[in-house]
Amino acid sequence: MDAERNGSPGTFGLLAPPGREATVHDERDHASDLHLDQIVSRIASGRDDGPALEELYFRRTRDVETVHHRHRVFQDLDDPEVWDAARRFCGSAREVLSHLSQARAMRVREQRQGWTLDAAATYCAAVRRLATDLGEARLGSQGMADFRRYLLGYAASGEFARLEAESAECKAALGDVGYCVNVDGGRVSVTRYEEEPDYSVEIQSVFERFRQGAVRSYLANYRVWPGMTSVGQQILGLVVRLFPEEFALLARFSERHRSFFDPGVHRFYAELQFYVAYRELIDSVGAGGLDFCYPEVATESKEELAEGTFDLALAMKLTSEGQKVVTNDLRLDRGERIFVVSGPNQGGKTTFARTFGQLHHLAALGVPVPGRRARLFLCDRIFTHFEREEDLSRLTGKLESDLLHMQRTLRSASPASVVVMNEVFSSTSLEDNRFLGAEAMRRLIGLGCLAVCVTFVDELASLAPSVVSMISTIVPGDPTQRTFKVVRGPANGLAYALALAEKYRLTRPQLLERIP
Amino acid sequence: MKAHLLYPDRDFDFSAEPGRFDDDLLRDLELAIVLRAMAQGDRLLADVSRRVLLDSLDDVGLVLYRQAVLADCIEQEEAVRELYALVVAALEDKRGLLWGIRSGSPAVTLGGAVRQLEAFSVRLRELRQLADRRREVFRSEGFEHLFESIRRDLDDEYLETLRTHLRQLQFRNGVLLSARLDRDNTGIDYVLRAPITKRPSWRERVGLAPRTSYSFTIPPRDEGAANELADLTSRGLNQVADAAAQAADHIESYFTMLRAELAFYVACLNLRSALLERGAPLVFPVPLPSEPARFACGDLRDTALVLQTAGEVAGNDVDADDRPLVVVTGANSGGKSTFLRSVGLAQLMAQCGMYVTASSYRSSARSAVFTHFGREEDESMRSGRLDDELRRMSVIVDAAARHALVLFNESFSGTNEREGSEIGRQIVQALLERDVAVFFVTHQFDFADGFRRSRPSATRFLRAERAAGGRPSYRLVPADPLPTSFAVDVFRRIGGFADADPGASGVDHGDDGPLEVGEEAGSDAVTSKQIG
């Protein structure tokens, strides 16, 4: 690839430096437990080639250099001018592609030509604008700078200038065409439009007196009409004869510019979406005051840190409802590997576990992660073990399938893996739960992998020095608010009824505040 | 034109989302049985009755407004049913024509709309005639206004105007449309134009000027082309069709509203005959303002139980004026739950303008009625039973305001008595401090007795008792709670408190709670069976 001449599409790469083969882990067994599927489908929804884009968010890398390459592209997009330019371009490119695919589906010549012309006009404006926008920008990433060099060369070419001028001329001519159709029985006449008065307006005034408030509209929607009827085709044929110069111009244009979308610009668009789509998510979630950061990444050290982090899927939901998101801090110091999370229900334990899993997935995509500051390990695989609610009715079958699933996880995990266990075996007796939980924990401790385990069995929190006990909290001093804070602290499973009542804000003082 | 039989100055909102507590009320108060008797198999009557029943009025004037309309209905049942039948018929005409208007093609929409408007105009004329004939015999403000507005808004002149416009809409001389080119060169922006006849200039006719008109004729048997042409014409008729169809909708919505509001009163007539057949006393309640707290009833019977029982149903006399807390204790299957239901049902019926099944009933307007009944099973196996109870309570508190009424049935028994009592005490105390009235059925002596000691004159204590021979009388008597709990039986059967030592472990509490509760749930099931 290095041998390719400057200016060819291969000389830039947004997702990785040109020619670099990164190790990639593409698996998604953990996606739904960690709600990554919600995140990814929200990111990719409504975008061009959504499935291919989704794919990119499941392809994790353990290559530190690739992660840094992507961080730098993101950092260029942090510049508001570059960011606006990128978004604008994505919007236009998307329109161009949809019009081109529309054109291919048409069988009437003038229709194909019309869609192509429209796409070309949009394309020209988009490329011109992008070249202007990026021309002045200060770009720090290799990915963006390489592309700019390529783009400026293309925008200055004679081929592009011709496309631009001819599409504008053609558009203007067709925009001025207006005609009338007279339908009388089976006879159809077409004439140039000559200011005949609007008849609907007259009839509507007749019915004005019935109007009272809003009712449904009976207007048929005729805007989207792919293809053309044979009558429509015959009418168009007559319109072409009424306006011969205008249509001759169109025919010449589409003959000359059959495929105008430059392959290099097209690839840039595809790769750019990976960044734009994720960053738009950050913007909408971050608007609620939440931080994202570029994590330090490592493939050796498992000392980890994340300050002010949160569950991204939950944050998407809460911010869209205008609710506040509680952030948490997590830290694994030298020798520490496993979080055991216990404490009152609905206190954010599962959310904490999910957050931990999501962080490792996102870090390995090379995207900014939730939090003010983070240091994360690039893991090989991510395993999850969550209670499935729909299985609850078949308790016996459930225990067995739980155990088999756990067995598969524990046998496949390596010291470089991340394991997330949430309330497993909770349908068994306390004694069984204690026993099975301890067995699973012993295996994880022996592996030395990173893990988080949510449980109500206190004993699991003190099995080894590598285990860190975390507890969900309720704050007695400020009972009007559930905290969702998960902090370091000794496990204490006593859930007293009044603490519960307090959690639901049902003590007398709390109630007096709630009922005005 | 408005119906305004439920409110003097506005429509009832029949499209409102169901309330958050509707399902709880339906289940806890056995509302379905009452609604069935009101509906007599008519889904519309059922739906309307449910909505009106669950949308309590806290304004004394509005309750009296409806009571007057309902009194008219009871007195003029035949006229009301005739009016209702007319309105139903108008809407059935419309249903017969329904296929026309929804097809989506403006030409067809227009045709359908014109046919509907023609049918409606016939019914509007009939409505006018009925109003002319019957209005004298009605006394309530609601009916007087209704008949007055029909006579005013549907005068002869108006009906004639309507007919003229319908003729004009026949539209059969072909249509002229203008259009522009879309970006794909198909026609867009079709606009119906007034046709102006003009002939080509002589220069054009002899071929000296460029042609300004081209035409073609579709083959007579080419159905596809004919359809396409019809479709094109339709586009030009879009706006006109919209206006006509909306006019039909406006008239339909008037009939729909009139039917719905009448439906409530027709349902009340249905229920009334069912209750009279079973010998239940019926009385219009005396609605009182929210303050001070008043509640008194004579021979109050559970309406749902009356409808389900062949023989006589026991009624209760309760005087709880200035006693916003009523605590009910006593024997299982002694009518405690039935009494609680009778109060909830009567309050809902009173606050929507209905009669109640009692010989006398007066009560303060309540801003809302809530039920917090012990559920037989946890709805979610994941959260504990107490957890679930507290969650439901919290949801109620979110919605509760001053002057609400909360009916508790064996609440907070998902844990041991000491803790359950404490939770219950805190909640009830707070509610009372916020002028919320509370009826509480409980087995927890510690809880009930606490209120006897702390506020004896502001609490009414009722007790269910077994008559001699063990048969329950189903009547409650004013009496303080007794320390001998019926849980003692249960206690013996499960072999004592050895497992329930609070010091043993956190988990044992959980084992103890549900056991005790399971017994209670079983007892309630027996009560339910008697109802069924």
* Helix (H) or strand (E) segment spanning residue B110: helix B106-134
Nearest to B181 among A174, A229, A389 (CB): A174
**Strand extents, DSSP E, A389-514:** 418-422, 450-454, 467-472, 486-488
Q: Are residues A343 and A490 in the same domain?
A: yes
A333 with A478, same domain: the answer is: yes
- pLDDT, mean over chain B: 80
- Any domain includes A47: no
Residue carrying structure tokens 């206690």: B491
Chain B hits for A224, CB-CB cut-off 8 Å, are none
Interchain CB distance below 8 Å, A186 and B176 = no
Structure tokens at A387: 């209670």
Do A502 and A417 fall into the same domain? Answer: yes
Whether residue A13 is contained in a domain is answered as: no
Is pLDDT at A395 greater than 70 in this prediction? no
CB contact under 8 A, B181 and A516: no
For residue B64, the one-letter residue type is: L
Share of chain A above pLDDT 70, in %: 84
The distance of A382 to chain B (nearest Cα, Å) reads 26
User: Which pLDDT belongs to residue B471?
Assistant: 63
CB contact under 8 A, A512 and B415: no
How many beta-carbon pairs under 8 angstroms link A with B? 258
Number of domains in chain A: 2
Nearest CA in chain A to B227: A231
* Position A183 confidence tier, pLDDT thresholds 50, 70, 90: confident
Instruction: Report residue B205's pLDDT band, with 50, 70 and 90 as the boundaries.
Output: low
Residue B345 to chain A, least CA–CA distance (Å): 25
Cβ-defined contact of B179 to A389 (cutoff 8 Å): no
Widest CA span in chain B: 118
- Residue B397 has its nearest CB partner, among A392, A495, A514, at A514
Judgement on whether residues A472 and A431 belong to the same structural domain of the protein: yes
pLDDT, tens digit, 9 for 90 and up, residues A224-259: 555 677 888 899 999 999 999 999 999 999 988 888
Q: What pLDDT is stored for residue A427 in this prediction? A: 53
Q: Which of A14-23, A180-189, B251-260, B431-440 has the lowest mean pLDDT?
A: A14-23
Do A67 and A110 lie in a common domain?
A: yes
Q: Does one domain contain both A281 and A410? A: no
**Are A203 and B190 in contact (CB < 8 Å)?**
no
What's the pLDDT score for residue A176? 87
Highest mean pLDDT range out of A14-28, A366-380, A404-418, B178-192? Answer: A366-380
Q: Is the domain of A319 the same as that of A254?
A: no
Judgement on whether residues A260 and A313 belong to the same structural domain of the protein: no
**Nearest chain A Cα distance for residue B401, angstroms:** 6
Cβ-nearest to A504 among B168, B191, B391? B391
Task: List chain A residues with CB under 8 Å of B426.
Answer: 501, 506-508, 511
Give pLDDT, residue A81: 94
Q: Report yes or no: A143 and A72 within 8 Å, Cβ to Cβ.
A: yes
Residue A91 within a domain: yes
pLDDT for residue A408? 84
**Portion of chain A with pLDDT greater than 90, in percent:** 52
Chain B residues with CB-CB distance to A178 below 8 A: 178-180
Among A364-368, A395-399, B353-357, whose mean pLDDT is lowest? Answer: A395-399
Residues of B in contact with A183 (CB under 8 A): 174-177, 229, 232-233
CA distance A497 to chain B (A): 6
Residue A144 has pLDDT above 70, yes or no: yes
Domains parsed from chain B with CATH numbers: 57-170+246-277 (no CATH), 286-531 (3.40.50.300)
Question: What is the pLDDT, as a whole number, of residue B525?
Answer: 32
Mean pLDDT of B70-88: 93
**For residue B422, what are its two tokens?**
């404490």
Cβ neighbour number for residue B523 with a 10 Å cutoff: 18
Whether the CB-CB separation of B34 and B331 falls below 8 Å is answered with: no
> A286, A308, A337: which is the final residue of a domain?
A286
The closest CB to that of B224, out of A187, A202, A230, belongs to: A230
pLDDT at A349 over 50: yes
Q: What is the mean pLDDT of residues A352-381?
A: 96
Place of tokens 């989506």: B104
Q: Do A111 and B212 touch (CB under 8 A)?
A: no
Burial of B316 (0-12, 13-18, 19+ CB in 10 A): buried
In a domain, A491, yes or no: yes
CA distance B416 to chain A (A): 9
Of A73-82, A415-424, B91-100, which has the strongest mean pLDDT? A73-82
Residue pair A15/A61 in contact by the 8 Å Cβ criterion: no
**A503 lies in a domain?**
yes
- Same domain? For A267 and A386 the reply is no
Instruction: Round to whole Å and give the CA distance between A108 and A91.
Output: 28
Write out the H or E segment, with its range, that includes residue B69: helix B60-75
Closest to A512 (Cβ–Cβ): which among B109, B386, B430? B430
The answer on pLDDT for A367 being more than 80 is yes
Say if residues A484 and A348 touch (Cβ distance below 8 Å). Answer: yes
Domain that holds residue A449: 291-514
pLDDT at residue B376 tops 70: no
Give the residue with greater pLDDT, B64 vs B162. Answer: B64
d(CA A307, CA A328): 7
Query: What average pLDDT is seen over chain A?
Result: 85
Taking 50 as the threshold, does the pLDDT of residue B325 lie above it? yes
Chain A residues in contact with B107 by the CB 8 A cut-off are none
Closest Cα in chain A, distance from residue B352 (Å): 25
Mutate to test the interface with B, among A100, A506, A508, A514 (most CBs of B within 10 A): A506
Residue A446 and residue A336 in one domain: yes
The answer on A463 and A415 residing in a single domain is yes
**Which single residue is written with the structure tokens 């006398």?**
B360
* First-to-last C-alpha distance (Å) of chain A: 72
Render pLDDT for A262-277 as a digit per residue (tens, 0 to 9). 999 999 999 999 999 9
Tell me whether residue A5 is in a domain.
no
Do the Cβ atoms of B181 and A239 come within 8 Å?
yes
Q: Which of A244, A263, A286 lies at the terminal end of a domain, its last residue?
A: A286
The tens digit of pLDDT for each residue in B97-118 reads 654 455 567 878 888 888 888 8
CB contact under 8 A, A200 and B240: yes
Question: Least CA distance to A500: which residue of chain B?
Answer: B387
- pLDDT-derived band at A2 (thresholds 50, 70, 90) equals very low
For residue A60, list its beta bridge partners.
A25
H/E element, A183: strand A178-184
**When comparing pLDDT for B443 and B168, which is higher?**
B443
- Which pLDDT value is given to residue B282? 95
- Cα of B217 vs its chain's centroid, Å: 59
* Domain stop point among A266, A286, A306: A286
CATH for A455: 3.40.50.300
Contact A182 B242 (CB under 8 A): no
Q: Are A115 and A240 in a shared domain? A: yes
